[in-house]
Chain A
Amino acid sequence: MITAQQKPIDEIRGMLVPYKRILVLGCASCVAECAAGGQKETAMLASTLRMKAKMNNEDVIIQEHTLDRQCVKDFVVTLDDIIGSYDAVLSLGCGAGVQAVAEMFSEIPVIPGLNTEFIGETRAQGLWVENCLGCGDCMLYYFGGVCPLARCSKQLFNGPCGGSVGGKCEINPDVDCAWQKIIDRLSRFGALDRLETIYPPKNWSRKQGGGPRKIIREDQQR
């Protein structure tokens, strides 16, 4: 899923200064799972903003609403009935959600309330870790199910570098060395010989070389 974290409240308030009628718009998908922009967080942020506005004698209306998916047009379109009452949307969607709303409602400013972080997994309560860069050319078979692109600090395809010590990365002892994990897993499967050959330079055109990416599936179109 896409992970995100809420921006600092002062930064959010700074961006909202010009507006009097604000819709705080949550998203019940990924950002709900990572407790950043779901219904609960949206209600809490709206309430905080109302409180701050009141304390500062600001004359603003702040209301909240949460879509099932802010990045899907079919859901965004349902805002049509209510969006006219506001002069700004504070989106608690990921970057895709913010832009999907902005794309549909070109007349209204859509302000990001989150910093979108990464594609990752919920590893434990309150712990999300990055493990995919969306490179467009999955190499996980080759690397025993551990992505060196997302999880090695130097994105080495032929690691580990000389800074791997005790299974930890040189940049920070809290960071696991992805290459230690790759080697451990491939050893377990008896497939370590896979790493004897040199992994060739990555074809980055699948990620960014061709400009913004899109997927077109004619079988899905109507």
Chain B
Amino acid sequence: MKDVSRLKSVLEKGGFAVTSECGPPKGADPQAVLRKTELLRGKVDSVNVTDNQTAIVRMSSLAACCLIKKAGLDPVLQMVVRDRNRIALQSDILGASAIGIRNVLCLSGDHQSFGNQPDAVGVFDLDSIQFVQAVRNMRDQGIIVGGEPLSHPPDMFTGAAANPFADPMDFRVVRLAKKINAGADFIQTQCIYNMERFDRWLGIARDRGLTEKAYILGGVTPLKSAGMARYMKTRVSGMDVPDQLIRRMEGVSKDKQREEGISICVETIERLKQTPGIRGVHIMAIEWEEAVGEIAERAGLLPRPVIDDQ
């Protein structure tokens, strides 16, 4: 079997891609990864594997990707620049490619002060945009940072994240443009709760021709409870949860809130499917992988297309 990116194949064939997320465990048990993976099998095209998210020590993203790959799914290797300098980042790109991982998402990473190692040094040698550029140069030109040639280039469908909801508002599209100009093939956005604001951002991106240059996947996260909605609004920087949505969650009894959260998520996906320039959806059901299948089903995203070359 040739190693190809399923995500890339689906997108290049004009399909509406579906990705989801698997957070590796705070431990060394491979079954913890594989259990989550099974919940996603057949429901999504590719699985993002987070890299010590919220700066908490977890099984390495690369190792978890390897487990997921062996299980027959298409992993997206998330890599943050917080913990590794350019030597380690580029080395891991080569290693990931060598074991058949075909997607990478280049991120800054949550600041180390948020996690369980607040005394750690933050490396931030490259930033996420420089990292995207480095991966693209490795792949397309066969060179590393500084220009030295590689004996064999890595094969990586390269992605970056975008947050349409952070400030300064006017500059968010400029930053998206920089990521795409750096070489991002695909973009996964921050969770969308404020569709109007998202549409404004995407409209500017469309006007600049950016939606033609990269595949943009809208991010969604099902709310588990009204409390979670309030928490995300007030405690998570760069997250825009409109009051109206919080009231909607509060309007149903506690035991129905998960269901309501899924409904909101499905409605968002329905709107994203109708939005020109959106090429897929990234479902981040945080520690709630069980919900992904139902969301995909109800949003009319199943069955996932069969890709011939896999």
Chain A residues near B (Cβ < 8 Å): 153-167, 170-172, 177, 180, 183-184, 195-196, 198-202, 204
Known contacts A164-B167, A165-B167, A195-B174; decide if A158 and B111 are in contact (CB<8 Å). no
**B178→A153 contact, CB < 8 A:** no
Interface segment, B2-10, B67-75, B125-133, B257-265? B125-133
How many angstroms from the CA of A198 to the CA of B108 in the assembled complex? Answer: 15
B124 and A166 form a contact (CB under 8 A): no
Residues of A within 8 A of B124 (CB): 154-156
B130 touches A158 (CB 8 A): yes
Q: What residue in chain A is nearest B125 (Cβ atoms)?
A: A204
* B-chain residues with CB within 8 Å of residue A157 when the two chains form the complex: 127, 129-130
B122 within 8 A of A: yes
Interface residue? B156 (CB, 8 A): no
Contact B82 A201 (CB under 8 A): no
Provide the bound-state CA to CA distance between A68 and B234, in Å. 50
Asked whether B114 lies within 8 Å of A162 as measured between CB atoms, the reply is no
- Provide the bound-state CA to CA distance between A162 and B111, in Å: 12
B175/A158 in contact, CB under 8 A: yes
- In residues 144-186 of chain B, which contact A (Cβ within 8 Å)? 145, 161-163, 165-168, 171, 174-175, 177-178, 181-182
A170 to B111, CA, bound (A): 8
Which residues of B, 39-80, contact A by the 8 Å Cβ criterion? none
Residue ID in chain A nearest B162 by CB atoms: A162
- Shortest B192–chain A CB gap in Å is 13
Q: How far apart are the CA atoms of A154 and B83 in the complex, in Å?
A: 11
Which residue in chain B gives the minimum CB-CB distance to A199? B130
A180–B168 touching, CB < 8 Å? yes
Nearest Cβ on chain A to B159's Cβ, whole angstroms: 15
The answer on a CB contact under 8 Å between B177 and A196 is yes
**Complex contacts, A158 vs chain B, CB 8 Å:** 127-130, 175, 178
A170-B237, A196-B178 in contact; A164/B168 too (CB < 8 A)?
Answer: yes
Contacts of A162 in B (CB 8 A): 161-163, 165-166, 190, 237-238
Residues of A within 8 A of B108 (CB): 154, 156, 161
In whole Å, how far is B166's beta carbon from the nearest beta carbon of chain A?
Answer: 5
Whether B166 pairs with A154 at a CB distance below 8 angstroms is no
B86 on interface, CB distance cutoff 8 Å: yes
> With the chains together, A167 CA to B238 CA distance in Å?
11
B134 CB-CB contact with A under 8 Å: yes
Contacts of A170 in B (CB 8 A): 111, 237-238
- Which residues does chain B contribute within 8 Å of A183, judged by CB atoms? 168, 171
The answer on a CB contact under 8 Å between B237 and A163 is yes
Given A180-B167, A198-B130, A201-B126, A154 and B111 touching (CB < 8 A)? yes
Please give, as numbers and ranges, the residues of chain B lying within 8 Å of A165 by CB-CB distance: 166-167, 237-238
Apart from A165-B237, A183-B168, 5 more pairs, CB < 8 Å: A154-B82, A154-B109, A170-B238, A198-B182, A200-B130
Contacts of B202-236 to chain A: CB distance below 8 A: none
Contact of A160 among B109, B161, B171 (CB under 8 A): B171
Partner of B238, one of A159, A163, A171, A180: A163
Interface centre among A154, A170, A201, A202 (most CB of B within 10 A): A154
In the assembled complex, the CB of B137 is this many whole angstroms from the nearest CB of chain A, namely 11
